[in-house]
Amino acid sequence: MKYKIALVGNPNSGKTTLFNCLTGSNLYVGNWPGVTVEKKEGDLRDTDKEITLVDLPGIYSLAPYSMDEIVSRNFLLEERPDLIINIIDASNIERNLYLSTQLMELNCPMVGALNMMDVVKKTGVEIDVGEMEKIFGYPFIEISAQKETGIDELIKLVEKTVGIKKLKDFPEIFPAEIRDLFNEFDSLIGSKYPDVLSDYPHLFRAIKLIEKDEEVLLKIHEKIDLLKDIDDIRKKIETVSHHDVDSAIADYRYRFITEGITRATKKTKDNAIQFQ
């Protein structure tokens, strides 16, 4: 069995450094089809399994505003990797976990590599990875790609996790009344527009339609009824959240992250620097 896994993370999270640590020989460098964005693939080292690691362009979110975001998200949606390694700059953990909350909606098994732990430890902050797993629903490993610590443990975790068919249920990021609206909208899409993005993960599809994501709208532009249904659900979300839809969705994600990080981290020194 051959596995294809993806390395996904924010720009400057240490992705290139980690990619080099994780891969041995057999590196393939090319371009993503149709664009001048570099594509790197390599075999995961020190494993008996056949695992190819694909380095996706660094991104802050799965919004389609840059070519890097479009390339990364199309790969995740169309190629469906067997596993995502989500690299997180742990010295900037809240901002990096924003992308993670979106990756969690892709129905793909995931492991979290908390990078820059050498920097974090110096600030006197400890991260409880067991607690992180309980809160976020996928396992985490502390690493320093630059100092090459935690890499063997990460490879073992990837080996153990890849190929697992039964996904853990990722936690609920949104409050119940918002989830109910997403579900109501998802049912409506399923019954009224069964051909619309039918191969997309459901929650991702619902949220991207509700956000009027540009790439998604391009695919449904002729469906005037659907656009009206999207406007209706947007109004309901605005009524419940008292915010415009985009801010509401982003706020819920950040609230979930902030609460999670408060539970999973502690300061061990008085002069510990606050996480951003």
Interacting residue ranges for ligand BGO, rule: CB under 6 A: 11-17, 58, 115-116, 118-119, 144-146
Dist CA 185 CA 205 (whole Å): 10
When CB distances to ligand BGO are compared, the closest residue is 14
CB of 12 to ligand BGO, least distance (A): 4
Q: Which is nearer to ligand BGO, 8 or 210 (CB)?
A: 8
Give the dihedral sign, CA 208/210/211/214: positive
CB of 18 to ligand BGO, least distance (A): 7
CB of 159 to ligand BGO, least distance (A): 22
Contact between 72 and 56 under an 8 Å Cβ cutoff? The reply is yes
Q: Which is nearer to ligand BGO, 12 or 26 (CB)?
A: 12
Q: Which is nearer to ligand BGO, 118 or 215 (CB)?
A: 118
Dist CA 180 CA 190 (whole Å): 15
DSSP-assigned letter for residue 76: I
From its phi and psi, is residue 86 left (phi > 0), alpha (psi between -120 and 50) or beta?
beta
CB of 149 to ligand BGO, least distance (A): 8
Q: Which is nearer to ligand BGO, 16 or 161 (CB)?
A: 16
Q: Which is nearer to ligand BGO, 42 or 58 (CB)?
A: 58
Instruction: Give Cα 15 distance to the centre of its chain.
Output: 14
CB of 52 to ligand BGO, least distance (A): 18
Those residues with Cβ within 8 angstroms of residue 234's Cβ, 6 or more apart along the chain or in another chain: 210, 212, 245
